[in-house]
A and B are shown apart, each in its own frame.
Chain A
Amino acid sequence: MSGYYAGIVILTCVNLLSALGLSLLTGFTGSFCFGQAGFMAVGAYVSTILTMRYAAPFPGALLAGVLASTLVSIPLGYPTLRLKGDYFAIATLGFAEAVRLIVENLEKITGGSRGIPSIPTHTTLPVILIITLLCIWLIRNYVSSRHGRNCVAIREDEMAAQAIAVNTFRYKQISFAINAALAGLSGGFLAHYVGFIQPSMFGIQKSTELIVMVIFGGMHSVTGAVLAAIILTALPEALRAASAWRLVVYGAVVVLIMVVRPEGLLGSWELSVASVQDLWIRLRTRFSTQ
């Protein structure tokens, strides 16, 4: 595979990892998070500083980035996850902006707004691909487990979930932590692929882009988030020839989906052996009756 296409796949995986976390937190648990870029920044900066300044091995640094962003989610989630709907979204938005500003001002450690250049590019296609597939598998397992059901119950009706003995706060915290871990991982990979990071990469635009992916693909489907991450990362690249118009087309596609299919591309459909068989049977009966 040529470098260009490999690059697109790597960037897709980076976005996918982050969107996967959001799918669990926002799509399945129902907590709208607008600060995903903040967690990515934590993962990116922690891992980069470790590999560059302390010559830490890449896997260790990556793991440290994941750990750091997960740890950040705990004190952040404690007061904010009790907030209702929109307020939680605003709190996470504030968090991401705070991270960006802190990074900008800790010039000695983070290089300030100029960022950190010439990061060793450790992210390779096979590694990120395997890890991404593994993460998809883990999240699929989680959402179909009893814990995943509890998360959806919280999204559907928090009071009813409590009435059937679901510790709603704990499950929200777990989803928040898993989300942060995946975003941290995504950030670490991103830094060591691009070879350069600066605070403006982790602004509100990035958070929005990721939440759009989850909504676009179908809030209640892991498959949807995966598909949307692929489409929405590849689309701007495919449209590169149309340079000035590509973001317009990107926006139009998103608007179109929201108008035509508000539940997202896949709604709550999941890819599995059973669901494909089911789809096949339905398609066949449709064509045989015609």
Chain B
Amino acid sequence: MALLEIKNLSKFFGGVKAVDDFTYSLDRGHLHAIIGPNGAGKTTIFNLITGIYKPTQGDIYFDGQRTTGLQAYQIAKKGIARTFQNIRLFSEFSVLDNVRTACHQRASYSVMEGLFPTPRRLRQEKELTNHAHELLELVGLADRATEKSKNLPYGHQRRLEIARALALEPRLLLLDEPAAGMNPDETEKLMEFIEEIKEKFDLTILLIEHHMEVVMELCDDIVVIDFGKTIAWGTPEEIQSNPVVIEAYLGVGEEA
């Protein structure tokens, strides 16, 4: 059964059709990519899925439930986590606190208990901090836990953002250009990392990416969009040999 289902989704900004009649489904346990030229509407699709934008038309279903019209935080609570193209960390927070803030599943103490150091609160905070440390260990940032996140180098910030997303304990993870600004070596490592977390946390992943080697090697399926419309959808092999895609995006001959 499809974990994420999108039906005839459109988003218009005035006269601009950022996303135009986009229909798509993503099965549980799969890893898909959305590719397309700049301004094709990829990030807009992410913003629609996560509730930052309200669609002009169409519907989105997550795990069989309609999420269209829900607030961003409600959708996140249902189990959709994301990273941002232009990294959005809580920059004044320490690395550890960035992750701790997202560990809602590990703590349920009330606002009232927030005012008092009750035993339940202390226990939950300890548990949550341990979990955050585990996640930092996983992304290789354990030794920088107390640093302010804004002082981290770029590549580390990207990994921290993924750790924060994982702290939500999501079922669907949306990665917006996770390899942006990385060299081939770092990209290689990132790919291994994405596969590792997918297995470990039993995730379904949808990513936007420009590095073709990442997309071609990692993904089960690729959706290609241009001008807000789907122009192709298939396995990496099918996409690579699709003439429409080659013309719109991959380029002819030597560039591909």
Contacts and interface: CB of A to CB of B under 8 A. Distances in A.
A193 B4 CA distance: 62
Interface stretch (B26-34, B106-114, B195-203, B219-227): B106-114
A156 interface: yes
B115 A163 contact: no
Given A165-B168, A168-B73, A141 B82 contact: no
Contact of A146 (B82, B90, B109): B109
Given A163-B76, A163-B82, A142 B102 contact: no
Nearest to A267: B92
A142 B89 contact: no
Given A156-B91, A156-B93, A168-B73, A146 B115 contact: no
Given A141-B116, A146-B114, A164-B76, A152 B168 contact: no
Given A146-B114, A149-B100, A163 B90 contact: no
B77 A165 contact: yes
B72 A156 contact: no
B114 A148 contact: yes
Nearest to B98: A153
A169 to B, nearest CB: 8
B93 A138 contact: no
A145 B125 CA distance: 8
B175 interface: no
A167 to B, nearest CB: 5
A164 B81 contact: yes
Interface string B77-95: 1000110100011111100
A275 interface: no
A237 interface: no
B250 interface: no
A163 B85 CA distance: 13
Given A162-B72, A163-B50, A165-B104, A146 B125 contact: yes
A157 B121 contact: no
Contacts of A220: 92
B125 A160 contact: no
A157 B90 contact: yes
Contact of B111 (A147, A149, A156, A164): A147
A248 interface: no
Interface string B125-150: 10010000000000000000000000
A48 interface: no
A141 B93 contact: no
Interface of A: 138, 141-142, 145-150, 152-153, 156-157, 159-168, 174, 220, 268
8 contacts: A138-B115, A138-B116, A141-B117, A146-B125, A148-B114, A149-B93, A162-B52, A167-B71
